[in-house]
Every structure is written in structure tokens, then in C-alpha cells.
Amino acid sequence: MTTNRIAFQGEPGAYSHEACRAARPGMEALPCRTFEDVIEAVRAGEADLAMLPVENSTYGRVADIHHLLPESGLRIIDEAFVRVHISLLAVPGTTLDQVREAMSHTVLLGQCRGFLRRHDIHAVTGADTAGSAKEVASRGNPSLAALAAPLAAEIYGLDRLADQIEDRQNNTTRFLIMSRQADMSRRSDRMLTSFVFRVRNIPAALYKAMGGFATNGVNMTKLESYMVDGVFTATQFYADIEGHPDDANVARALDELGYFTSTLDVLGVYPADPLRESQRRGA
């Protein structure tokens, strides 16, 4: 059974909602309260896909998401890079000089310090970006604006007083699109494989485990560690590598990794987002 829905965390108009529209424009976006609710919506068949943010180029890893991925039972089928463009939103008819306060998530407020300072606008912490836009619309006070995605203006009937006001123009969030089933059939010039593993309790196990990727010419684009169940001695690693498990060099590297790990779980095989390559070139 298919629903043609893609689930995301947050209010309508959130950046995750914007990512859904950009990556899957033909699907209905389903808002969920938490990341766990997003995963459960897909597992329960209420949605076909999940859109989950994993890292931001300015603020790093999204908290707790790497704990959820291997436990979700879902598989990564795509990645989506979304540029974070921030707009100042206000009730219709408001002019920029009327705005005295701007509400948003604390992370977004920190990305617009220069603009707020230049216009003498005081930052007000809100629950999230789209929720702040919703709050501004409900209050109807022209002195209070919201910092959010342009999509939020469309949804909540607000005017965009200024666009792309973020301090860093290259601020980008990486999302993973997840499904109930893996898709190993696709091929492109740049494939990625994501997996989690735990090394065996032997000396230099991680060093030996990583050696197979170097000797087989496999590029590892990400390696992160995190504790399991709050125990300092139990560490799990999350990794992204370039290539497909059916590639001879990747197969050899993963086979060698298996000698030094107690668990190894491939989370997904998927094409690289085109923006990844442009960022590599410095575009």
C-alpha cells in the first residue's frame, strides 16, 4: 500500500517541509511532532517516506538523529541538500521600520545577528521557525516579525519584508530520505553507502577496520562515533563512503571491515545529491 506522503518533523512551513517540496514535489508532506513520530508514520504505513535532517554546515550534527537511524528499521534511499535561506516575515502591510522584535528558533536567530543588529531588531526565542511564523500571524502585531523559510510566509499569509538575510550564504542542511525498503538497484556516477558498526574489543580495532578503505581506494566522507545506551565503553560508529557495495573495491573494504567489527548494518545505498559535488568544487 502506498500513500504518496512524505513525513517530516515540525510545523507546516518548516525547513524540513521545504526539503520535502524540493526533493519530492509530487508527494503530500505530512507534519509530525517529533523525529520518532516521523519514523513511526513510515513504519505504520501512514507515509511512504521520511525526511530527516542529519547535519548542518554551520551547526554540525542534528542531536540524537544518529541514535534513531539504526533503530528505525528504515533504509536510506536518497539524500537532499537544502540551502537555508532565511526571510523576515510580518503581518500584511507591515514595513521594515515598524519591526522591533523577531521571533524564531535560537539556532536561526544566531544565523541573522548581522541583519538584526543593523536594523535594531531584538531577538525573541520561539519554539521553532514555522511555529514562530504561525505565532506572528495569530498575534497580528506589526512590531513582531518571524525569521523562517519563505514557504512559511505562503502558508501563514505573512509578508516577506527581507529575504536571504542569513549571515552565511552557504549555510546548508543535509537531509536523508528514508523508506521501509532499501533500493540497491540504482546506479549513478556518484553513489554513497551509509552504515553503522561496532568494533570488536581488541587492540587497534578501529585502526585496522579503517585500513581496508585506504588500501582499496574507497573515500570515506564521514565517520562519527557516539555512545550506545549511555555507556562509555559501548561505542557505535556511523560512516558514509563513496561507492556501491557491489563495486569490487567497496566489497573488499566492507569484507575486511567485517573481520574487526561485532556488528555491521548497511543503512542505505543512494545517489549523491548534485549540491555535494558543487560544494566539493567550492561553488
Catalytic residues: 173, 175
Helix (H) or strand (E) holding 81: strand 75-83
Alpha helices in 2-144, H assignment, sequence order: 15-23, 35-43, 65-72, 106-110, 113-118, 129-139
The HSE-up count of residue 267 (CA atoms within 13 Å, CB side) is 23
Residue type, 216: N
Residue pair 48/4 in contact (Cβ under 8 Å)? The answer is yes
For residue 203, with 0-12 CB atoms within 10 Å meaning exposed, 13-18 middle and 19 or more buried, which class applies?
Answer: exposed
State the CB neighbour count (10 A cutoff) for residue 101: 15
Distance between CA atoms of 192 and 280, rounded to whole angstroms?
Answer: 15
Residues 206-238 as b/e (b if ≥16 CB within 10 A, e otherwise) read bebbbebbeebebeeeeeeeeeeeeeeeeebbb
Find the helix packing angle between 65-72 and 35-43, rounded to 10°.
10
Residue ranges with strand state E in 107-230: 122-125, 144-148, 159-162, 172-179, 191-199, 220-228
Helix (H) or strand (E) holding 206: helix 205-215
